[in-house]
Amino acid sequence: MELTENEYHILESIDSGQAEIGMSLSSLIDFCEFNFNANPKPLIDVGYIEINPDLNGLTTKGKEALKAYYNKRI
């Protein structure tokens, strides 16, 4: 899956704590749509974000994608 800039911003917000662990799925969706004009559900569906039933953080796959994104920007 090729991620968009907005999807990377979603991953960054979770990694940085801007989107807080324990946030409900509906709150996460609202937060992402308001701040990034993007829905996090596709990132959850492909395994970048762990929800169980609330936000648990990035999965290993999500952390690796974010690391690769940072490396491309350098």
- 8 A C-beta contact, residue 40 and residue 3: no
Residue 69 is predicted with a pLDDT of: 94
Name the domain count of the chain: 1
Residue 45 is predicted with a pLDDT of: 97
Domain with 51, as residue range(s), is: 5-73
Over residues 32-49, the pLDDT tens digits come to: 999 999 999 999 999 999
Over residues 3-42, the pLDDT tens digits come to: 999 999 999 999 999 999 999 999 999 999 999 999 999 9
d(CA 67, CA 47): 16
CATH value at residue 14: 1.10.10.10
Residue 42 is predicted with a pLDDT of: 97
d(CA 10, CA 14): 6
Q: Is the pTM of this model over 0.75?
A: yes
